[in-house]
Chain A
Amino acid sequence: MNQYVVCRLEDILPETGVCALIEGKQVAIFRTKDNKLFALDNYDPFSQANVLSRGLVGGTTVTNDGGIDEAVLYVASPIYKQRFNLATGQCLDDNSVMLATYDVELDISFEGNDVIIKYEQLETSSTTLLEIEAV
Chain B
Amino acid sequence: MSSTIVSKAGKTKLVVIGNGMVGHHFIERAVEKGLHDQFEIHVFAEEDRPAYDRVYLSSYFEHKDVSKLNLVDLSRYEDAQIQLHLNQRITNIDAANQCISTEEGTQIDYAELVLATGSYPFVPPIPGREHPHCHVYRTIKDLDDILSTAEKPKVKKGVVVGGGLLGLEAAKALVTLGLETYVVEFAPQLMGVQLDAAGGDILKRKIEALGVKVLTGKNTKAIIDNTLSDEASCHLTMQFADDTSLDTDMIVFSAGIRPQDSIIKSNPECGIEIGTRGGILIDEACRTNAPNVYAIGECAVWDNTVFGLVAPGYSMASICAAQIAGDHAQTFTGADMSTMLKLMGVDVGSIGDAHGATENSLSYLYQNPVEGIYKKLVTTADNKRLLGAVLVGDTEDYNNLLQLFLNDIDLPAHPESLILPNVEKPTMGIENLPDSATICSCYNVTKGAICAAVEDGAYTMAEVKSCTSAGTGCGGCAPMVKDTLGYQLTALGFEVNNDLCEHFAYSRQELYSLIRVQGIKTFDALLDEHGSGHGCEICKPTVASILASCWNDYVLKPELTPLQDSNDYYLGNIQKDGTYSVVPRVPGGEITADKLIILGQVAKEFNLYTKITGGQRVDLFGARLDQLPDIWTQLVDAGFETGHAYGKSLRTVKSCVGNNWCRYGVDDSVGLALRLEDRYKGVRSPHKIKMGVSGCTRECAEAQSKDFGIIATENGWNLFVCGNGGMTPRHGELFATDLDTDTVVKYIDRIIMFYIKTADKLQRTSKWRESLEGGLEYLQAVIIEDSLGIAEELESQMQLLIDNYVCEWKATITDSEKLKRFRHFVNSEQGDDNVVFVTEREQIRPATDIEKAKILATELS
Contacts and interface: CB of A to CB of B under 8 A. Distances in A.
Interface in B805-834: 820, 824-828, 830, 832-834
A56 B540 contact: yes
A60 to B, nearest CB: 6
Contacts of A83: 537
A41 B536 CA distance: 20
Interface stretch (B265-273, B311-319, B557-565, B770-778): B557-565
Contacts of A54: 566, 569-570, 574, 578
Contact of B853 (A13, A32, A132): A132
B565 A78 contact: yes
A21 to B, nearest CB: 4
Contacts of A78: 565-567, 574
Contacts of A100: none
Interface string A52-86: 00111111110000000001010010110101000
Nearest to A16: B562
Nearest to A5: B827
A18 interface: yes
Contacts of A15: 562-563
Contacts of A49: 576-578, 834
A49 B567 CA distance: 15
Contact of B561 (A13, A21, A43, A48): A13
A88 interface: no
B524 interface: yes
B561 A132 contact: no
Contacts of B541: 56
Contacts of A81: 537
A126 interface: yes
Contacts of B533: 59-61, 71
Interface in B516-555: 524, 533-538, 540-541
B744 to A, nearest CB: 38
A90 interface: no
B218 to A, nearest CB: 65
Contacts of B565: 56, 78
Given A13-B562, A60-B502, A132-B853, A51 B825 contact: no
Contacts of A58: 534-538, 540
B850 interface: yes
Contacts of B832: 26, 50
B578 A12 contact: no
B130 to A, nearest CB: 64
A119 to B, nearest CB: 15
A129 B827 contact: no
Nearest to A59: B534
Interface in B81-139: none
B714 interface: no
A83 to B, nearest CB: 8
Nearest to A72: B534
Contact of A11 (B503, B826, B835, B852): B826
Contacts of A71: 533-534
A61 to B, nearest CB: 7
A132 B850 contact: yes
Interface string A108-123: 0000000000000000
Given A49-B576, A51-B578, A78-B574, A21 B830 contact: yes
Contacts of A57: 534, 562
B849 interface: yes
A5 to B, nearest CB: 8
Contact of A56 (B536, B576, B825, B850): B536
B826 A20 contact: yes
A56 B524 CA distance: 15
Nearest to B855: A129
A60 B536 CA distance: 8
B199 to A, nearest CB: 56
B857 interface: yes
Interface in A27-60: 29, 32-33, 43, 47-51, 54-60
Contacts of A32: 534
B856 interface: yes
A71 B857 CA distance: 44
A129 B826 contact: no
Interface in B828-861: 828, 830, 832-835, 849-850, 852-854, 856-857
Nearest to B567: A78
Nearest to A12: B826
B827 A6 contact: yes
Contacts of A132: 849-850, 852-853
A7 interface: yes
Nearest to A134: B853
A133 interface: yes
Contacts of B503: 59
Contacts of B574: 51, 54, 78-79
20 contacts: A11-B820, A11-B826, A19-B825, A20-B825, A21-B827, A21-B828, A21-B830, A32-B534, A33-B524, A47-B576, A48-B849, A49-B576, A49-B834, A51-B566, A56-B540, A58-B537, A76-B536, A83-B537, A130-B853, A133-B854
* 4 residue pairs, one from A and one from B, having the closest CB atoms: A59-B534, A58-B536, A78-B566, A15-B562
Given A6-B827, A47-B578, A60-B534, 12 more contacts: A11-B820, A20-B827, A21-B827, A29-B826, A48-B834, A50-B832, A56-B563, A58-B535, A73-B534, A78-B566, A129-B834, A130-B856
